[in-house]
Chain A
Amino acid sequence: DIQMTQSPSTLSASVGDRVTITCRASQSISTWLAWYQQKPGKPPKFLIYRASILESGVPSRFSGSGSGTEFTLTISSLQPDDFATYYCQQYNSYSLTFGGGTKVEIK
Chain B
Amino acid sequence: EVQLVESGGGLVQPGGSLRLSCAASGFTFSSYWIYWVRQAPGEGLEWVANINQDESKKYYVDSVKGRFTISRDNAKNSVFLQMNSLRAEDTALYYCARGSQGSNDGPGGYWGQGTLVTVSS
Main secondary structure of the interface of A (DSSP, over half): loop
A95 & B45 in contact (Cβ 8 Å cutoff): no
Chain B residues with Cβ under 8 A from A89's Cβ?
A: 45, 47, 106-107
A100 (CB) vs chain B CBs: closest residue? B44
Given contacts A43-B112, A43-B113, A95-B61, contact A87 B44 (CB under 8 A): yes
Chain A residues with Cβ under 8 A from B68's Cβ?
A: none
Count residues of B near A (Cβ-Cβ below 8 Å): 23
* A97 to B61 Cα, complex, angstroms: 9
B45 & A1 in contact (Cβ 8 Å cutoff): no
* A37 to B107 Cα, complex, angstroms: 13
Q: Which of A32, A43, A94 contacts B111 (CB 8 A)?
A: A43
B96 (CB) vs chain A CBs: closest residue? A43
Interface string of B100-116 (1 = CB under 8 A from A): 00001111110111100
Closest Cβ–Cβ distance, residue B58 to chain A (whole Å): 10
Q: Which of B46, B95, B104, B113 contacts A91 (CB 8 A)?
A: B104
B44 & A96 in contact (Cβ 8 Å cutoff): no
B46 & A98 in contact (Cβ 8 Å cutoff): yes
Chain B residues with Cβ under 8 A from A55's Cβ?
A: 109
Given contacts A43-B114, A98-B46, A101-B44, contact A91 B109 (CB under 8 A): no
Chain B residues with Cβ under 8 A from A44's Cβ?
A: 37, 45, 95, 107, 111
Given contact pairs A43-B97, A99-B44, a sample of 9 additional A-B residue pairs in the complex whose CB atoms are under 8 Å apart: A34-B108, A43-B114, A44-B111, A55-B109, A91-B106, A94-B59, A96-B50, A96-B104, A98-B45
Chain A interface residues (CB < 8 Å from chain B): 1, 32, 34, 36, 38, 43-46, 49, 55, 87, 89, 91, 94-101
Closest 6 CB pairs of A and B: A43-B111, A46-B109, A91-B106, A96-B47, A98-B45, A101-B44
